[in-house]
Amino acid sequence: MIKLDKKIVVMAVLLGLAGAGYLGWKRYFGTPSDAQAAPPATHKTADTLHFDASAPQLTFIRVEPVEALPEPLVEPLNARIAYDDNHTARVFSPVNGRVVKILAEAGQPVRAGDGLLEMDAPEYAQAAADVAKADADLLRSKEVLERARLLYEAKGVAQKDLELAEADWHQAEAEAVRARARLRNLNGNGHDAGGTYVLRAPLSGTLTERQVSAGSEVRPDASNSLFVIADTSHVWVLVDMPELALGKVSVGQKVLIQVDAYPGESFLGTITVIGGALDPLTRRIQVRCELDNPLGKLKPEMFARVSPIADVHSSLPRLPNTAIVTQGLYSYVFVEQSVGVLQRRKVTLGLQGHEFSFVKEGLKAGERVVTTGALLLNAELAGND
């Protein structure tokens, strides 16, 4: 009995909610004969709707100004942001050793020559000792050569002894050059002989990655770099382009790049490399674009959408597809003439994508267009004909 009473109560509540919903629907969308119905729109012309400024119909539409962008040749292509390898350094240790101290952290700017880490490196100490030994041998061989020349002039030694001294001096000189070059390649300054080696930044930029900690053992043949330093004011955009779109792009062509992090904002890039072969599995070819990134907004590994364009100096109005109403062979949009006055206008479309379409004729940039609720307005216009 108790269960039955609960069911009756629940049914009564549901019926009450349904009744309230029906009354609300009748109030805003009821027939014109309903005393509580919203006032219908009136016509100024055959294609114009006129609403009062407080009409409830206006709450169901959204009006936005039209923006103009260069018309793309194809629909946006999937891509990703990547480091510009021409302005990026992946830093490895040239010697074996153990990290003692980290001198730079990921995210901070560095200049060429700044220290990244300190490490105990016997190999570096050996290189410094080799320089000192080579310099000493060079000095000794030079003194021996000078004595041999004096003795030869005094007929005190044979010519072969002089030639042997000259050969020893040349050999010592070559060894000194080799030792100095080895120490210079290690970025050493030639004065630290205690085995402490400082790994330095080879270029200026931002330290974007760090994959080493204090106490780590490092070696030159490691598979992963210890640091990545990049000039993030230059980035690449790598596009996976389908085979069908390949004929519409060329090296030097401009492209528009968009990312989800900055909706409504476009970045201009240039195609610099088109791959030589398609991927046999995906049937796509990789296209590389370059662009400046002075504010650092674009980050490596961001997903992006790339649209090749024909002319960067020519723009067309771009609309979301929700703003377009199709009737037969023609397309229409509703343009706001003033508050509450909406005119249906025929337009000629260019490229039509999944989300946006470009208008070739019938609309100008800056005009205010209904982007949400166009179908409702079209139905209202048809109902008042």
Residue 4 is predicted with a pLDDT of 43
Residues 6+ positions from 191 with CB-CB distance below 8 Å = 128
Judge if 321 and 374 occupy the same domain.
yes
Using an 8 Å Cβ cutoff, are 237 and 287 in contact? Answer: no
Dihedrals phi, psi of 212, to nearest 5 degrees: -150, 150
Alpha-carbon span 255 to 306, nearest angstrom: 6
Among 369, 333, 366, residue whose Cα is nearest residue 349:
333
Number of structural domains the chain divides into: 3
Q: Check residue 195 and give its pLDDT.
A: 62
Residue 293 near residue 224, CB atoms below 8 Å: no
| Residue 319 and residue 295 share a domain | no
300 located within any domain: yes
pLDDT at res. 190: 39
Residue 255 is part of which domain span?
77-84+232-308
Residue 51 in domain? yes
Q: Are 240 and 270 within one domain?
A: yes
In a domain, 104, yes or no: no
Sign of CA dihedral 339, 345, 351, 357: positive
323 contacts: CB under 8 Å, gap ≥ 6: 333, 334, 369, 370, 371, 372, 374
Q: Considering 308, 326, 347, which residue would you say is the last residue of a domain?
A: 308
The pLDDT, as a whole number, for residue 384 is: 58
Q: Has residue 105 been placed in a domain?
A: no
> At 128, is the secondary structure helix, strand, or coil?
helix
Query: Does 326 lie in the same domain as 275?
Result: no
Residue 181 has a pLDDT of: 87
Which pLDDT score, from 0 to 100, does residue 29 have? 47
Average pLDDT, 10 consecutive residues per value, the chain (385 residues): 48 52 48 47 69 83 88 88 94 90 92 90 83 91 89 85 90 91 68 68 92 90 92 94 89 92 89 92 92 92 91 83 90 90 89 83 90 87 68
Instruction: At 325, list the tokens.
Output: 């109403």
Domain CATH for 358: 2.40.420.20
pLDDT reported for residue 323: 92
- In a domain? residue 34: no
Tell me, what CATH number does 256's domain have? 2.40.30.170
Per-residue pLDDT of 235-264, as tens digits, reads 999 999 998 888 889 999 999 999 999 987
Crossing angle between the packed helical segments 159-185 and 122-153, to the nearest 10 degrees: 160
The CATH number covering residue 160 comes to 1.10.287.470
Spatial contact of 326 and 33, defined as CB atoms under 8 Å apart: no
Q: What is the pLDDT of residue 275?
A: 92
